Structure 1
Amino acid sequence: MNPPTLFSPEATAAALPYPELADAIAALLRDPAVKVPARTVLPLPAGGVLIAMPATDARVAITKLISFVADNAARGLPGIQGDVIVFDARDGRRLALLDGPTVTARRTAAVSLLAAQRLAPRTDGPLLIVGAGVQGRAHLEAFASGLGVTQVRVASRSAASADALVAHARHLGLEASRVDDADAALADCPLVVSATPAQAASLHATPRDDAFIAAVGAFTPAMLEWAPDVCRHIAARGTLAVDTRDADHEAGDLLQAGLDVTAVPTLADWLDRPRPNGPVFFKSCGWAGWDLAAARLVAAEFIRTDA
């Protein structure tokens, strides 16, 4: 029996191209064999959390085991660390060990890409990215490769981080610039990604009527990126969507706006609906099913070989 294949961060990224991963996520949402129990979150003594996220379909099973420590940047460490273990669901063999932070970054951006493909009134940009960390970079790459975006604006509390992401965008052949006022930039950008630490509202201005917003920074009820009145405005004038029903108790932006998240359609609900009118606010909180979709892409060669 061969040992499981160990994927470095670079190999994990290469195995998960964004357009193909978005397609894999759409396919997973249509698969009735997918089972995703609630994730387990264990508080750590120093303030971080250890998160266990299992999922399975008829052929592949995974567990993502990661830690999240919000203040790790001050230690020179990434906020998210861990792995995704991929199993053959039929015989229990370990097939692969994927780099957890890379899977998290790429599947989150691919979910936003799929939502934009299905929901965005316009997909040509310019794209505004608020937050120049790992998720900001992943969303930049996903929207460039999956939507064909060519113009990007980057806002961040750290000018150095914003400049670094602008340089990366230019390296990819995009027209990119730093903006110091994210609220003002909303007027020029129909595509918006907020990927901030979500410790307080970073965006307060009203977005365009043709805006698509992917809000990915907040994933607990106590976190938020958008001012509550902005969320209420979009709820009244446009469309709200969430990634899964787990957002009912996790979507801080919407919960703190006093909105009934249980009545908000999920991404799966939108797969077969016509594109909505008006501004769209897509709230993404995370789900082990997205990690399973990534694992299915990687595991296809193992499963096919042994079928």
Structure 2
Amino acid sequence: MTPLLTPQQTADALPYPELAAAIEALLRDTSVVVPARTVQPLAGGGSLFVMPACDARLAITKLITFIPDNASRNRPAIQGDIVVFDAVSGQRTAILDGPTVTARRTAAVSLLAARLLAPRTDGPLLIVGAGVQGRAHLEAFHAGLGVQEVWVASRSPASADALVLHAHRLGMRARRVADADAALAKCPLVVSCTPAQAVALHAQPRADAFVAAVGAFTPRMVEWAPEVCRWLAVQGRLVVDTRDADHEAGDLLQAGINVHALATLADVVRDATTHRRHGPVFFKSCGWAGWDLAAARLALQR
């Protein structure tokens, strides 16, 4: 019988600090192959994502749907699974919960980027968007950076209050803020993980800020005002998760920025010293099946 991990079992197999380390190890592994993902538009306005990846030992396929307005149906926006195979025998070895892996590996990628690039990591942390990714990033930055204070901004006060309560249960100091733009001046760590259907942030981050921009992962999606992105390109440092961002990083593409010229997280992992500069850091995360492969590798080890 192929192990079918529940959401909780999947989460237990993927602690954030260990997952960030697994992602860094994957970026150093020359056997990793990640083809371009297939994105199939669906009749209801959502998308079906088919994302394969392999290394010398494992092969995976991530098969998930993304339905932006599923909150109105009381359903998660992301649903699906990650199927893991032995790359030599072809045997199916595990099935991981897709939404859980997506949340945790995305947050772990941001954690790794912050470890390598953030001018300072003591917080407070501002989270804009209090959904699944907001919760995952709160947990990841608390577990992996030791962040003790978080500010939460959301269009839904109830969602923000729920995330604040979760932070309190983790022993953190936390509060809801009504104005995300104003909060940027007080927070050196920022995570934007909104639905990215419209600009949510119009102000400039601090000079010592690290921003993980997570919500926009298609050319049409956007969280940050174009003028802010252009200011960051001049005053700070822009880094993307992979070269797939060249055609997916909505925030940067809509700002007219040449994304292809930007460093990737793999470039930073290989030589972090050349990528540390003065000024704010804007890390654009779009997603990649390699992150799911790293999660599968860690889950099978554990």
Aligned to 1:304: none
TM-aligned CA deviation for residue 252 of structure 1:
0.5
**Conserved in 2, the CA contact under 8 Å of 1:55 and 1:289?**
yes
Deviations 1:111-170 (A, max 9, x none): 000000000000000000000000000000000000000000000000000000000000
> Which residues of structure 1 form unaligned runs of 5+?
302-307
Q: Which runs of 5+ in 2 are unaligned?
A: none
Of all paired residues, the percent bearing the same amino acid is 73
1:9–1:102 CA contact under 8 A, matched in 2: yes
What displacement does 1:44 show?
A: 1.5
Query: 8 Å contact 1:197–1:218 — kept in the other structure?
Result: yes
CA contact (8 A) 1:202 1:226 kept: yes
Cα deviations by residue, 1:190-221 (Å, 9 ceiling, x for unpaired): 00000000011100011100000000000011
> Cα RMSD (Å) of the superposition?
0.7
How far did residue 277 of structure 1 move?
1.8
Q: Which amino acid aligns with 1:184?
A: A
Instruction: For 1:236 and 1:155, locate their aligned partners in 2 and report how far apart those are by CA, in whole Å.
Output: 27
Q: Displacement of 1:47 after TM fit?
A: 1.6
Whether the 8 Å CA contact 1:212–1:279 is kept in 2: the answer is yes
**Mapping for residues 203-222 of structure 1, pairs under 5 Å:** 203-222=201-220
In 2, are the aligned partners of 1:21 and 1:297 still within 8 Å (CA)?
A: yes
Using the size of structure 2 for normalisation, the TM-score is 0.98
What is the alpha-carbon distance in structure 2 between the residues aligned to residue 183 and residue 297 of structure 1? 37
1:75-86 alignment, distance < 5 Å: 75-86=73-84
Residue 299 of structure 1 corresponds to which residue in structure 2? 300
1:62 to 60, 63, 71: 60
What pairs up with 1:28-107 in 2 under 5 angstroms?
28-107=26-105
4+ residue runs of structure 1 moved beyond 2 angstroms?
none
Secondary structure, aligned partner of 1:200? strand
Q: Tell me the secondary structure at the aligned position of residue 201 of structure 1.
A: strand
- Structure-2 residue corresponding to 1:273: 272
Matching residue's letter, 2:278: N
Candidates 219, 232, 235, aligned match of 1:234 = 232
Match for 1:140 among 134, 138, 141?
A: 138
SS at match of 1:26: helix
Contact 1:56 1:62 in 2 (8 A): yes
Shift of 1:48: 1.4
Letter of the aligned partner of 2:121 in structure 1?
Answer: T
Q: Which residue of 1 aligns with 2:124?
A: 126
State the partner residue of 1:23.
21
Quote how far apart the aligned CAs of 1:53 are: 0.3
Within 1, Cα distance between the matches of 2:91 and 2:210?
Answer: 42
Q: Distance in 1 between matches of 2:251 and 2:216?
A: 7
Output the CA distance in 2 between the equivalents of 1:43 and 1:273.
37
TM-score by length of 1: 0.96
> How many correspondences in the alignment?
299
Distance 2:85 2:41 in 1: 27
- Whole-Å Cα distance in 1 between the matches of residues 119 and 249 of structure 2? 23
